[in-house]
Structure 1
Amino acid sequence: MDLLKVKAVSKTYGSGEAAVQALKKASFTVPKGEFVAIVGESGSGKTTLLNMIGALDTPTSGKVFIDGKDIFAMKEKRLTIFRRRNIGFIFQSFNLIPELTVEQNMIFPVLLDYQKPDKRYLEELLSVLNLKERRHHLPGQLSGGQQQRAAIGRALMTRPSLILADEPTGNLDTQNSSEVMALLKETSRKYEQTIIMITHNRRIAQTADRILQVSDGVVTDFGRAGDVRRLSANDRQTGYGKEGGFE
């Protein structure tokens, strides 16, 4: 069963001679529970694509379906509620609220939705993320890896069907990056969530189930992430190839 369907999504910024096509009729599907990495050079359109999937921006044309629902056919209020309940966001810069503790940051999206946090689920997440001893710490008292784990917990707390991660390991060292990726894969399997992740790192991308490349607004499906030779063969054409990364 496909959780996500992107159908001929295009995005143009500006008009006339100043018009820039950030996305060009992007189309693909993602089955429930799949972990997809999106790669591409800076300015290629991959963040624009992620913003369309997360309904943070509106396409010029095309449709996005999440769990069978045409998200851009929804009115703004309904879309806001749908996004809050069905999509979890993980950012490179963590985006934790500095005045709130780990636990408070994690339950904040639930409270924002005027719901009561599931205490049993909170304890489970704190355990899975190895944050029980840090639950009352402020973000400034945490390491980068701990902050990103707290951000993952916040994204998971509403039990969303879709997780969108924008360079989740971009500010982390190699060890913490590996730990965060292992956690994402573990939570994806444990809670049957679909993950779409932007990354510049070839090694990180290879840990996903499938790789999509965005180049000049065009989306290409590389297929299974284990197909290293196919990915490497395109490095010269796309300008990728720096050791460990895509730019």
Structure 2
Amino acid sequence: MNKTIKLKNICHHIKNFEILKDINCTFYAGEIVSIIGLSGSGKTTLLNILYGLEKPLKGEVYINDKCINTLKESKLTKYRRENMTYIFQDLNLVDYLNVRDNILLISKLTKTKLDLKKFEYVINKLNLANKLENKINYLSGGEKQKVAIARSIMCNSNIILADEPTGSLDIKDRNNITQLLKDLCLEYNKTLILVTHDPYVAIESDSIFIIDNKTLKKYNGIKNVENVERYLLNSK
């Protein structure tokens, strides 16, 4: 399998407090990965390091074989737009734009030619076809999540990072959003790295990693909710 993301000896401190230490792992093309951990364990920090929003104190981050934490800001921004999209916990949608313009925002910034067939397929898959002219602040939480997913799928980047993509949703919406995100990533051969505290979401992944005692460990147990939840609660 082709490597997409590689972390080498990642260590990170915030205000002289050690958050992450000695993280070494590889994520592969087309893989769906969940990173779990207790609140404050450093999950979002790790995702920010992967995206280049934070630079690690030590170590190297390789995205599609390029070390990104040595790139200058202008080159990093360009490389990031070409290779990754990030579904932030607060979604980063633009309230004064309608659904269509939010979905196509990053594609326009990267001057990517619109694939109309793909666009129509994605909005129909996500049940957004009749919402395209609606402003974001008139949407439900689940609908906003769908807009963020559509935007990430429409980008030509091969990696999607998602921070708690179902965190504010009820059980029905959580299951629906998880399945839709997974299906679309598989259909368009996207690598998905998602941070979650929800075992129900984590077990849908190909691989589960846990931040335990400031380092990243692969979960090799049986993938069911009870076992993952127990493993999570026993972490530090």
Q: 1:94 to 1:13 in 2, by over 3 A?
A: closer
Does the 8 Å contact 2:199/2:225 carry over to 1? Answer: no
Which amino acid counterpart does residue 179 of structure 2 have in structure 1? A
Give the Å deviation of 1:3: 0.9
Aligned mate of 2:133, from 129, 133, 136: 136
Q: Does 1:31 align with 2:63?
A: no
Q: 1:131 to 1:224 in 2, by over 3 A?
A: farther
Match of 2:46 in 1: 49
Give the Å deviation of 1:225: 6.6
1 CA distance for matches of 2:112 and 2:229? Answer: 47
Q: Does 1:84 align with 2:81?
A: yes
Aligned mate of 2:121, from 107, 116, 124: 124
Give the Å deviation of 1:102: 0.7
Does the 8 Å contact 1:209/1:225 carry over to 2? Answer: no
Match of 1:101 in 2: 98
Give the Å deviation of 1:124: 2.2
Match of 1:6 in 2: 7
Match of 1:64 in 2: 61
Does the 8 Å contact 1:7/1:26 carry over to 2? Answer: yes
Give the Å deviation of 1:153: 0.8
Which amino acid counterpart does residue 11 of structure 1 have in structure 2? H
Give the Å deviation of 1:57: 0.6
Does the 8 Å contact 1:211/1:225 carry over to 2? Answer: no
Does the 8 Å contact 1:36/1:212 carry over to 2? Answer: yes
Does the 8 Å contact 2:199/2:228 carry over to 1? Answer: no
Does the 8 Å contact 1:32/1:194 carry over to 2? Answer: yes
Task: Kindly report which structure 2 residues correspond to 1:126-165, keeping only aligned pairs within 5 A, or say none.
Answer: 126-165=123-162
Q: 1:143 to 1:2 in 2, by over 3 A?
A: same
TM-score (norm 1): 0.89
Once the two structures are superposed, residues 51-102 of structure 1 have per-residue CA deviations (whole angstroms, 9 ceiling, x without a partner) of 1111111011111111111112322211101111211111232221011111
Q: Say which is worse superposed, 20-29 or 105-114, in terms of deviation.
A: 105-114
Match of 2:235 in 1: 238
2 CA distance for matches of 1:168 and 1:101? Answer: 21
Does the 8 Å contact 1:213/1:222 carry over to 2? Answer: yes
Does the 8 Å contact 1:210/1:224 carry over to 2? Answer: no
TM-score (norm 2): 0.93
Aligned mate of 2:167, from 140, 157, 170: 170
Once the two structures are superposed, residues 117-151 of structure 1 have per-residue CA deviations (whole angstroms, 9 ceiling, x without a partner) of 33333222212222111111111221211110001
Residue 25 of structure 1: SS of its match in structure 2?
Answer: strand
2 CA distance for matches of 1:235 and 1:63? Answer: 27
Which amino acid counterpart does residue 25 of structure 2 have in structure 1? F
Residue 151 of structure 1: SS of its match in structure 2?
Answer: helix
Q: 1:120 to 1:233 in 2, by over 3 A?
A: closer
Which amino acid counterpart does residue 190 of structure 2 have in structure 1? Q
**How much is the aligned-residue C-alpha RMSD, in angstroms?**
1.8
Extract unaligned runs of 5+ from structure 2.
none
2 CA distance for matches of 1:235 and 1:156? Answer: 30
Residue 121 of structure 1: SS of its match in structure 2?
Answer: helix
Does the 8 Å contact 1:207/1:225 carry over to 2? Answer: no
Extract unaligned runs of 5+ from structure 1.
240-247
1 CA distance for matches of 2:166 and 2:201? Answer: 9
